[in-house]
Every structure is written in C-alpha cells, then in structure tokens.
Amino acid sequence: MNEILSVAVAGCGYWGPNLIRNFSSLPDCRVKQMCDVDEGRLAHMKKLYTSTATTTKFEDLLNDEELDAIVVATPVHLHHELAKKSLLAGKHTFLEKPMASSSAECAELVALAAKNNLTLMVGHTFIYSTPVRKIKEIVDSGEIGEVQYISSRRLNLGLFQKDINVTWDLAPHDISIILYLIGRPPVSINCQGKAHVDKKIEDVTNMSLNFDNGGFAIIHSSWLDPNKVREMIIVGSKKMIVYNDNEPLEKIKIYDKRVEAPPHYDTYAEFHYSYHYGDAHIPYLKQVEPLKVETQHFLDCIRNGKKPETSGLDGLRVVQILEAASRSLKIDGAKVEIDLDLGKKSAFA
C-alpha cells in the first residue's frame, strides 16, 4: 500500500468541506478528488484547494484506480447507493451519519465490506472527541458508581433537513455516545414528536432508550429552539457528570452529589433520604479537533486492517434504533421492542 493514501470526498455542502479540510491536513493523505452535483459548490471548493481535481460525476471516483478510499457526505438517502458502488469498486469507504436510510441497507453494506475485505467506517464524530473519551474513562473507572440514567439535549433553531426528521439528523450523535458509554444495546424504544414547520417531518422529538438492567436514557432533539443546546447528563449512583459541549474549555463537570435511602426503617418518622453535597471537579481536556482524530483513524484502519471504533456495525445499530424510534413515533410513543443482536447476525449472514 502507498505511504500516502488517496481519498475522494463526495458531497461538498455544509459538512463535506470539514472532512476535506481534515483529510488534507494529514501528512499521510492526499485528497485527490472532490465531487458534488452542484457546480457552484465545486467552484467554491476549487478556490480553496487549487490542486485537487473536481467532478460532478461520482463514477469518475469509481474509475480512478489511484484512489484508495471514498468519503460520502451527501444527503442520507444517497448513502447506501453511493457506498455500495464505492465498495463494489474496491474502495475503502467512509460514510457520514446516519449510515443509511434503513437497517437493511446498512446490513448489506456491512456484509459487502466484510466480503471484499474493505474498511467501512461511519462518521460518529463524538466518539473521537476528548470530552466523550474522558467521560468513558470516568464511567469505566467506577468513580460515578453505577450509571442510573443519561439525559441528552441537542437543540437549535434549524438546520431543517428535507429528507430526514430531527431524530435521524441529530440523535445519531446522542445514540452513538450513549451506546459507547453504556456498552450494551437498548431492548426497547419510545419516541414522541411533532411536526410544526413541514407537517410531514418531525422537528421536535423525545426518545427514551430502555436497557435490560433497568437503566434508561432520554434524548430530546429539536430544530425549533431559540438556544443552541448540546448537553448530556450522566447520573451515577455515587456522582453525576454534566457535559456541555458548548463550553469552550470546561466541557465536563463532575459533581460529587448523590441521594441515599436509609438501609432499613420501621416507621415513617425514621425515614429520611440522605442528600450528599460534595465538591465539583473540572478535569483538564486536551484541545483536539475530533474530526482530525476521526479522519486519521480511518486511514490507520485502512493501513492496518483494523476494525474502526465506529464501524459499519456500529452504524447499523444506530440506524436500528432510529427505525424503532420512527415506528414508535407512528404509534404516539408506544414502546417498540428491539433486538440489536439480530442486526449483528443478519449483517454477517
């Protein structure tokens, strides 16, 4: 394999340029082609990356024998079609989140990548961020005790999407972080929501993920909120973590707070909860752009044949949860059971 890997990025809208900037900054990578059906976007990108070729035809990427990998950052309804062509052309493939429009599409891509021995990675960016990795370290160390519940809010005014609702747009981040932290799949999902602006596409949703040990997580997603909120609270039996991604430096605060019930009591008069109020601690976090770590990880996985930390299978699991949320939305939030292990079996069948 070449020392310098050649990559092409398809989709130069809002997010694609961030991927192009990060891949271009890596010493072991060359962004050889940029592809978009919109010539205006390509003309803009050409001004920034003068030596990179541009094309409106995705087929030009497939036919380029020097290309090692294709990165897909188009609208979600095109992910499966473009990634399938990329894998069939023998290219390692990076797909933005959510991986595809259905779990069947995801499973097909996972199987195709495995069959052809190609790296398939999904852009669950937050898994590569310093605060999320630090929270994982704290949770795994046992410092906060047993995780009792997680509450996540990802709110903003927009950006309204045309092909997916707000759950499919924003919640993949929360779901991927929660699965990473908890390390087990949920067994059922409830999701309620409303479509206000475009009457067919929900712009506010509230989902809960229920786990087999009784734990649960709540995800509130909104494109209709005056404030940009990116907050996750992890409540443990001993301590609680507040993660505010909008904070420039102090993104994580660990609160030494908990509530304890008396071990036994005979009369109501004897019963008192004990509230513990201790110090709050702010761990130091190194400032690194998550996308830089993510793009380097993709190249390293191609080189070493390693499974990405956010593999196709992880993308499939997130999409299975999104599908269950869509089913629950249709029945006004009633519980939908899921078995994510089924996805694992079907992906490798």
Ligand X SMILES: NC(=O)c1ccc[n+]([C@@H]2O[C@H](COP(=O)([O-])OP(=O)(O)OC[C@H]3O[C@@H](n4cnc5c(N)ncnc54)[C@H](O)[C@@H]3O)[C@@H](O)[C@H]2O)c1
Q: Which residues bind ligand X (CB under 6 A)?
A: 10-16, 35-38, 41, 58, 73-76, 78, 96-97, 123, 125
Give the side-chain half-sphere CA count within 13 A for 325.
Answer: 33
Shortest Å distance, C-beta 35 to ligand X: 5
- Residue 76 or 120: which CB sits closer to ligand X? 76
Nearer to ligand X, 190 or 311 (CB): 311
Main-chain phi, psi angles of 332, to 5 degrees = 55, 45
Please list, residue by residue across 260-296, b when 16 or more beta carbons sit within 10 angstroms of its beta carbon and e when fewer do.
Answer: eeeeeeeeeeeeeeeeeeeeeeebebeeebbbebbbb
Helical H segments across the chain, by residue range? 16-25, 39-48, 58-62, 79-88, 103-115, 130-141, 166-182, 290-304, 312-330, 340-348
In the complex, what is the shortest distance from the CB of residue 44 to ligand X, in angstroms, rounded to a whole number? 10
CB of 229 to ligand X, least distance (A): 16
Compute the least distance from the CB of residue 145 to ligand X, in Å: 31
Is 170 or 217 the residue whose CB approaches ligand X more closely?
A: 170
The CB-of-293 to ligand X minimum distance in angstroms stands at: 13
Nearer to ligand X, 147 or 325 (CB): 325
Of 123 and 312, the one with the shorter C-beta distance to ligand X is 123
> Residue number with the shortest CB distance to ligand X?
13
Nearer to ligand X, 126 or 255 (CB): 126
* Nearest in space to 232 (alpha carbons), one of 134, 307, 324, 333: 134
Query: CA gyration radius for the chain?
Result: 22
Report the sign of the C-alpha dihedral through residues 258, 227, 122, 99, in that order. positive
> To the nearest whole angstrom, how small is the minimum distance from the Cβ of residue 310 to ligand X?
10
